[in-house]
Amino acid sequence: MYQVFVSWSGGKDCCLAAYRASVKGFHVRYLANTVTENGNRSCSHGLAANVIPIQAQAMGISVVQRPTTRETYEVEFTDMLKAFRREGIEGGVFGDIDFNEHREWIERVCRAAGITPHLPLWLENQDSLIREFIDAGFKSIVIATKAEILGEEWLGRTIDHDFVRQLEELSRTKSITPCGEAGEYHSLVVDGPLFQKRLEITESEKVLRGERRFLEIKRVVLKDK
């Protein structure tokens, strides 16, 4: 069976990429997540790092969290991929959609590790992708936004068809894309067809850090579906 890892932020795009890979018959061995040097936060979305292992547990997939800094990121990520390759993992799955510079980076680090990169969402219509994600039965919530674009009332919102419609209306006056590919918002997937259990956030706080708003998740538990 063709074994892969998924580059994992905890959000909807990497989750949809993982889902497509699974449907294609790929065996997802690991979720690969980078965290800050002190191990407190996920590098990608500023999420409390301890939320990701709980999410991975809900999915029944092992997670590897690699501490890194901005300066050592590429070296650490490549080393993680090399370790995967030594375990027989041949491919890596990424949820990128249209950021060419990051695709070039992905191809470079995968080449250095002897890994084949797969970008199943690449250059697809964002409106179609987010609707596919919702229609597949995934549930996710907004955990971060650019403060100048989306106010704190968007934090904790469920990403559903009503959410998509409101984003469409907002995009008439603000620069925002359906999937938030430019960092307009980030999400956390809490349930769906890849999940054996669902996540329930029982304690959280809305905070402003610099130019971004965050849903600071303080406690999350697993529940039966």
Around Cβ 128, how many Cβ atoms within 10 Å?
Answer: 10
Domain spanning 3-118: which superfamily?
HUPs (3.40.50.620)
Around Cβ 219, how many Cβ atoms within 10 Å?
Answer: 12
CATH for the stretch 128-224: 3.90.1490.10
Phi, psi of 68 (to 5 degrees): -160, 170
- Whether 44 shows a pLDDT value over 90: the answer reads no
Note if the pTM is more than 0.95: yes
Q: For the sheet containing 91-93, what is the strand order?
A: 62-68, 27-36, 3-7, 91-93, 116-118
- Looking at the chain, which residues constitute the CATH 3.40.50.620 domain(s)? 3-118
- Looking at the chain, which residues constitute the CATH 3.90.1490.10 domain(s)? 128-224
What are 189-216's pLDDT values in tens digits? 999 999 999 999 999 999 999 999 999 9
pLDDT for 18 equals 98
